[in-house]
Structure 1
Amino acid sequence: MSAIPCDQRRVRLPVRAALQLGPLGDIWHKPAMSGVAALAVVQLALLLAGRLDLVLYASAGAMCALYCHGLPYAARARALAWTVLGMVAGTAAALVTAALTDSIAIRVAVAALLAGLHKAACDITRIGPPGNVVLTFVTASAAFVPQHLSEVPFHVGLAVLGGVVAWVVGMAPGLVRPDGPERIAVARALEAAARLVRARDHTEDPHHARHAAEAAEAAVNAAWQTLLSSGAADRQALGRLLVQAESAVPGRSAEALMAYARELRKGRPLPEPSAADPRPAAIEEDELAGVFAERRMPARGSAFGRFLLDLARRWRVVVMVTAGTALAGLASMALGVGRPYWAVVTAAAVFAATTTLSWSRALQRVVGNLVGVGLFTLLAPVTRLGALALIVTVLALQFVTEAAITRNYWLGSVFVTPMAILMTQFADTQPVPVLVADRWLDTCVGVAAGLLACVLLLDRRAARKP
């Protein structure tokens, strides 16, 4: 894919669907607990050292603990290390920029370019939630922190230490449940297959059945990818269970598939498919051998080389996001807002795969931030009772955010917004009315600029593809 395809055709811009709440995510507590643990370590350590002014730098690396929770631990170790490296590199570039120039326009330009690179890199690697927004938030903020060049190595070193904490926190659950991600992926596939069987057996609505089939196919494919990147000892047994999901047909018991899924999620011994299952064992073994053989196929070129090639191919994504975020930052600067990097982050968050999705994300961002600044106003007096109260509030917001955002992006934004504002208060306390006005104005500017860039920098070739 060479670009973010903003749809060229006339589209409906739904409001109700964009704000509708979905179910709570099944593993929301994993990034929530990891994020809180990593941030708590670095923030409490700096509190004890009496240097809360350094929270931004250490938190840059610590926030990487939010990533990679769907990956098997062998793959997670590599992906999380690359995520930390990317975060540290972006933070270093932003800090050097802040040290070398006082020009707000140049700082906005650098933050915007980093935002474009973050979007393309996250699309290529499919790193998953929270995607490019956290990377852009941290680096854009760093570009506007007062800085001397001599301080940069120390501050970057703090980011590295925070990243080490994030890596350790992210890998620690593997000591207790080393095959946890694989079990969750296969359980999701089994549950989706069970829903497909029920849709075929108990509904006459073809749209519902087709949606269930698409969801089951996506879950099965995701589970195969998880197993292919896994070194778990039970990989073959998990693969046999996954075959049960992949071969879901009318007549197969949905209850049996759900029972397998429950056993996997509870960490119990792997269930054995019953003899009544229609797929013969020999066929299952042949299919498993073929699928797992793909993992042994040699890759062409190094992973880093392929990444750079894919990045070069996605130049339009980089241009589109860079232009939109730069426009947002410069407009915010022209309006005299004190924190144009908030507009940069908002514009970066708006970009999605289609115009309709971008509109939905923009609406969600506006609604979430509007409610979020109100929540910040209520919490501000509490956070000013002392440094510990500020830390506890930030950690609580981080935890709730991970639950809320699985239900809808706007609901997550309600809690992200006060947390993002409070992160700026570790180094310097600002008047609440100024913070609220800046955040709300930057949200509106960022949303407008992001949508404008999506429309003007339309990929017409991608839009014409069926």
Structure 2
Amino acid sequence: MGKHARPTGQRAAARSGSGSLVRVRPLPIRSTVLLRRPVDIWHKPALSAVVALGIPEFLLLALGRLDLVLYTSAGAMCALYAHGLPYAARARTLAWVVLGMVASLGTALTAASLTTSVPLLVLLASLVAAVHKTVCDATRVGPPGNLIFTFISASAFFVPQRLGQVPFHLALALGAGALAWLVCMAPALVRPRGPERIATARALEAAAALLRTGPASDDAPAGPDRARHATAAAVNAAWQTLFQVPGRTTAAAADRSGLERLLVRAESALAAPQADPAEAERCAAWARDLRRGRALPAVALTGAQAGELAGVAAEHADLEPAAGTTPRRPAPSRPRGIRAVLHRLAPGSPLLPIGARVAAGCALAGWGSMAAGVGHPYWAVVTAASIYQVNTTLSWQRALQRTLGNLLGLLLFTALLPVIHTGHLAMILLALTFQFCAEASITRNYWLGSVWVTPMALLLTEFARHLPARTLVTDRWTDTVIGAAVGLACCVLVTNRRAADRVEAALDRVAAAETAARRLLDGDAPEAGWARDRLAASLVELREAVEVSAGEW
């Protein structure tokens, strides 16, 4: 296996208790609050959520039933998901998201109707939050991940409920979810190839940044290694996006083929021996054309690049013999769909300790909130659930960000109380504004998004029943501190030693992919289509596994 061989003796010694050193990693503070550039498509989930939330809320306002906002919000919040996926894949993913949201809400409402024991409800909400975390990580559903599911369901556990009301409330959530599905699919009528064009444009932009400085230049903004990784990750993500694009018609297949030509050119930047400003400018220009919806440019390919593209086309033909509905597979013999999710949750999975962290941290945070006499223990549950990331370092950062954002959000809510008390119309308009601002800012830094999420969550509470502002703000702040402190303590105490196992498993996959790729050099042509993609994906996954493991306590 060459450079991928691992020193098993050293690894065993490092794992043994004797003779090994425990290195405590410093937890960052300054980088926790720095602002980043916003994600390029932030406006899509922002506008989708505003429309999906606004229509039911204004309808409930007209009917005088704003007490039902929680149930319609459950379905409407599904509009935040899957905006990076091609529309065929987006339709399937959103359907699963809506069904998952309704199932979670149904579990919470049923429990609320059967018991009034607050400690038991806290425990059940914590277990459901753990399920949300593990399933969302296993399905790789993408942002906002498990947080929306947990926010809605944890709130519903503590809403007074009768069993006979549950079907009607679930119907409201399902109807709002169907509306969210339509809102998210509506852009397909205008730009049916938009998601795959954006994914390809990102790969071209990353390649242009790499080519401007050179793969081995010390002047690269994040270092040459990170610049190469960013390009490799963007290219791999674009390939995975194009794999999900069906070529049902001649025009669709031709458009996909044109994007593949551009992607092959972007991928060639990884092998460039030095900086190439001219090629960088071409890649940047092509990216601008893609984002602006212009016609696909004519792209010249070298002999090797043309051969690679011919292999892609041949594999499409093999995998799409009839109607052209099956996308190209990244690799054979690997689980897909539900089987892939179950495989990632099998015993020994590094996701299981994180699920245990969530269950323990949320339960202890909720019970701690009860002991402090706070009337909203589910806020502590949601706060604890929100801080758990893939490792301890990122969880520490999220805890600080959540605490800072909630404090500023409470100040904003307090300042706007005179406007809030003017009536329900003002409350709805403010809630929609907060939702838009949250999506506009949360990709810059989580604490900035939390500034807007906090007053929006408080407004949802106000729709159901009015509470004194002082009580509302004090309870929220107390729950935030308890949830963040207890959740972070559980994150440190419940260790995730399986993070290192993930690195080893990723190394095994890289070695296997490397072996398959080397066979290509000997002329083993039938595996040509997937071996390159498997090797690239394995290397990207290895890099992510190393970063996750490096951030553990």
* Matching of residue 225 in structure 1 with residue 225 in structure 2: no
Is the 1:372–1:413 Cα contact (8 Å) retained in structure 2?
yes
Q: 1:148 to 1:92 in 2, by over 3 A?
A: same
**Structure 1 gap ranges (5+):** 1-7
> How far apart are the structure 2 equivalents of 1:430 and 1:155?
23
Map residues 347-386 of structure 1 onto 2, 5 A cutoff: 347-386=384-423
Shift in Å, 1:131: 0.9
* Deviation readout 1:267-323 (Å, 9 max, x if unpaired): 1111121x4x54656324234237756725777777234434433444333222111
**For 1:243 and 1:190, how far apart are their aligned partners in 2?**
10
Residue 260 of structure 2: aligned partner: 239
Please name the residue that 1:295 is paired with: 328
1:342 pairs with 2:379: yes
Structure 1: distance between partners of 2:353 and 2:302: 49
Q: Are the aligned partners of 2:260 and 2:309 in contact in 1 as well (CA < 8 Å)?
A: no
| 1:153-178 deviation digits (Å, cap 9, x = unpaired) | 11111111111011111111111111
In structure 2, relative to structure 1, the CA distance for the partners of 1:215 and 1:170 (3 Å cut) is: same
* Separation in structure 1 between the aligned mates of residue 465 and residue 363 of structure 2, nearest angstrom: 26
Match of 2:159 among 145, 148, 151: 145
User: Aligned pair in 2 of structure 1 residues 316, 155: CA closer, same or farther (>3 Å)?
Assistant: same
Return the alpha-carbon distance in structure 2 between the equivalents of residues 433 and 84 of structure 1: 35
Structure 2 equivalent of residue 307 of structure 1: 341
Q: CA RMSD in A?
A: 2.0
Identity among equivalent pairs (%): 56
Cα distance in 1 for residues equivalent to 2:238 and 2:339: 26
Once the 2 structures are TM-superposed, how far is the Cα of residue 432 of structure 1 from its aligned partner? Answer: 1.1
Counterpart in 2 of 1:401?
438
1:199/1:212 contact within 8 Å kept: no
Counterpart-to-counterpart distance in 2, 1:120 and 1:202: 39
Residue in 1 that maps onto 2:87? 73
CA distance in 2, matches of 1:216, 1:300: 25
Cα distance in structure 1, aligned partners of 2:214 and 2:339: 45
Distance 1:461 1:56, change over 3 A: closer
What is the SS of the residue equivalent to 1:406?
Answer: coil
Q: Which residue of 1 aligns with 2:204?
A: 190
State the Cα deviation string for residues 42-71 of structure 1 (Å, max 9, x = none). Answer: 111111111100000011011000000000
Q: Distance in 2 between matches of 1:143 and 1:122?
A: 20
Shift of 1:413: 0.5
What is the identity, as a one-letter code, of the residue corresponding to 2:281? E
Alignment of 1:404-443 (within 5 A): 404-443=441-480
CA distance in 2: counterparts of 1:203 and 1:309, whole angstroms: 40
Does the alignment pair 1:262 with 2:288? yes
Distance of 1:459 and 1:202 partners within structure 2:
35
Give the 3-state SS of the residue equivalent to 2:226 in structure 1.
Answer: helix
Higher relative contact order at CA 8 Å, sep ≥6: structure 1 or structure 2?
A: 1
- Superposed displacement of residue 463, structure 1: 4.6
Out of 258, 268, 271, the position equivalent to 2:297 is 271
Q: What TM-score do the two structures reach when normalised by structure 1? A: 0.94
- Residue identity in the other structure for 1:261: A
Match for residue 320 of structure 1? 357
Distance 2:104 2:405 in 1: 27
Establish whether residue 122 from structure 1 lines up as the match of residue 136 from structure 2: yes
Query: CA separation in 1, counterparts of 2:71 and 2:88?
Result: 28
Given that residues 64 and 84 in structure 1 are in contact (C-alpha distance below 8 angstroms), is that contact kept between their aligned partners in structure 2?
yes
* Mapped partners of 1:408, 1:107: distance in 2: 32
8 Å CA contact 2:354–2:388 kept in 1: the answer is: no
User: Which of 52, 59, 83 lines up with 1:38 in the alignment?
Assistant: 52
Give a deviation string over 1:85-109, Cα, whole Å, max 9, x none: 1100000000011111110011111
Kindly indicate whether the alpha-carbon contact (under 8 Å) linking 1:361 and 1:409 is maintained by their aligned counterparts in 2: yes
Distance in 2 between the 1:103 and 1:391 partners? Answer: 32
User: Structure 2, unaligned stretches of length 5 or more?
Assistant: 1-21, 320-326, 504-545, 547-553
Moved more, 315-324 or 240-249: 315-324
SS at match of 2:462: coil
Please tell me whether the aligned partners of residues 245 and 257 of structure 1 are also in contact (alpha carbons under 8 angstroms): yes
Displacement of 1:198: 1.0
Take 1:29 and 1:99, find their aligned partners in 2: how far apart are those partners? 38
Structure of larger gyration radius: 2
